[in-house]
């Protein structure tokens, strides 16, 4: 490493450390506040145990609603992301089409789901519909972007060979594009289902349905033992959803592999 490069790296590190110190001072991040937060956090955690289900009907109804929101939002998000991801792929579409599609995807990715949930709650009112629409937007932003990037990374020779036969566009997609990206697409979808399960427990805090509303109400009543029970139930639901998504991914990819071998 040359002396000039070494001096440049030292300057970058010095500027970075100076900014960290400046940001801590601006945000009033001090060791006293940090140690006080640790103490209060320990007190709060001690009040969580033992967990107690004070309102079983409310908790199980909220969990069921969260799961329904996640599944419906994932289904609608995948249906809308497929054509949008194809339109955003630069190796399949003209530039003016990809710019429009990528602008829509970028817009869906620009805001946190909680912000989108607040907008939908204000627009259509409280309830699960606002949560479903929120997670549909989040799904489009994630799956659409990754699906477009996966298409752009395929071998274009296979696509050109099918085009040379005079096949229509949908046949090109069916025989030249989808077989190359299907395994990755299944991975994107299963991850998004898992992500929507987590987010569906969060959007309820602002009134978009799900277990989040029950959790927030328990916090406000200082029923911390019930809060702990809800958190444990959410963890169990997320683990079950992840295992189910993994099983579906193995099943779909296994079927694809067997069909190719046949």
Tens of pLDDT, residues 206-259: 888 888 888 888 888 888 888 899 999 888 988 888 888 778 777 776 654 444
107 backbone dihedrals φ, ψ, rounded to 5°: -65, -40
User: Same domain, yes or no, for 125 and 20?
Assistant: no
Instruction: Give the chain's domain count.
Output: 2
Instruction: Report the alpha-carbon angle 110-137-80, nearest 5.
Output: 125
CB 178 within 8 A of CB 256: no
Nearest to 242 by CA among 191, 189, 203, 200: 191
Kindly report each contact of residues 23-30 with a partner whose C-beta sits within 8 Å and lies 24 or more positions away, as own/partner: none
User: Same domain, yes or no, for 72 and 122?
Assistant: yes
- Residue 26 is predicted with a pLDDT of 84
pTM of the model: 0.80
Residue 133 in this model has a pLDDT that exceeds 50: yes
pLDDT in tens, 146-187: 898 888 888 888 888 887 887 788 888 888 888 888 888 888
Determine, yes or no, domain membership for 43: no
pLDDT in tens, 53-71: 878 888 888 889 998 999 9
Nearest to 233 by CA among 215, 245, 208, 213: 215
Give residue 238's domain range: 56-261
Interatomic CA distance for residues 226 and 67, integer angstroms? 20
Determine, yes or no, domain membership for 48: no
User: Same domain, yes or no, for 9 and 69?
Assistant: no
User: Same domain, yes or no, for 61 and 32?
Assistant: no
User: Same domain, yes or no, for 126 and 203?
Assistant: yes
Determine, yes or no, domain membership for 164: yes
Determine, yes or no, domain membership for 46: no
User: Same domain, yes or no, for 10 and 140?
Assistant: no
User: Same domain, yes or no, for 66 and 31?
Assistant: no
Interatomic CA distance for residues 6 and 150, integer angstroms? 38
Determine, yes or no, domain membership for 133: yes
Q: What is the per-residue DSSP string for 193-261?
A: HHHHHHHHTTGGGGTSSSHHHHHHHHHHTT-HHHHHHHHHHHHHHHHHHHHHHHHHHHHHHHHHHHHHH
User: Same domain, yes or no, for 101 and 144?
Assistant: yes
User: Same domain, yes or no, for 225 and 137?
Assistant: yes
Determine, yes or no, domain membership for 51: no
């Amino acid at each position: 490493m040359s002396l000039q490069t070494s001096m440049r790296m030292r300057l970058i590190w010095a500027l970075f450390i100076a900014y960290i110190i400046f940001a801590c001072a601006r945000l009033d991040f001090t060791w006293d506040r940090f140690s006080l937060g640790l103490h209060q956090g320990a007190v709060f955690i001690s009040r969580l145990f033992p967990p107690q289900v004070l309102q079983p009907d409310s908790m199980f109804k909220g969990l069921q609603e969260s799961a329904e929101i996640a599944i419906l939002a994932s289904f609608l998000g995948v249906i809308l992301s497929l054509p949008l991801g194809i339109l955003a792929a630069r190796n399949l579409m003209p530039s003016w089409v990809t710019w429009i599609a990528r602008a829509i995807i970028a817009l869906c990715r620009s805001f946190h789901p909680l912000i989108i949930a607040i907008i939908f709650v204000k627009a259509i009112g409280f309830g699960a519909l606002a949560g479903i629409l929120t997670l549909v937007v989040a799904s489009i932003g994630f799956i659409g972007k990754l699906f477009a990037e996966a298409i752009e990374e395929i071998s274009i020779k296979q696509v050109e060979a099918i085009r040379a036969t005079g096949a229509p566009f949908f046949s090109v997609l069916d025989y030249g594009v989808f077989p190359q990206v299907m395994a990755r697409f299944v991975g994107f979808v299963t991850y998004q289902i898992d992500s929507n399960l987590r987010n569906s427990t969060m959007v309820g805090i602002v009134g978009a349905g799900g277990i989040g509303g029950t959790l927030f109400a328990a916090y406000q009543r200082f029923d911390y033992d019930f809060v702990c029970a809800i958190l444990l139930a959410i963890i169990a639901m997320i683990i079950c959803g992840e295992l189910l998504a993994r099983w579906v991914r193995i099943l779909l990819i296994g079927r694809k592999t067997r069909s190719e071998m046949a």
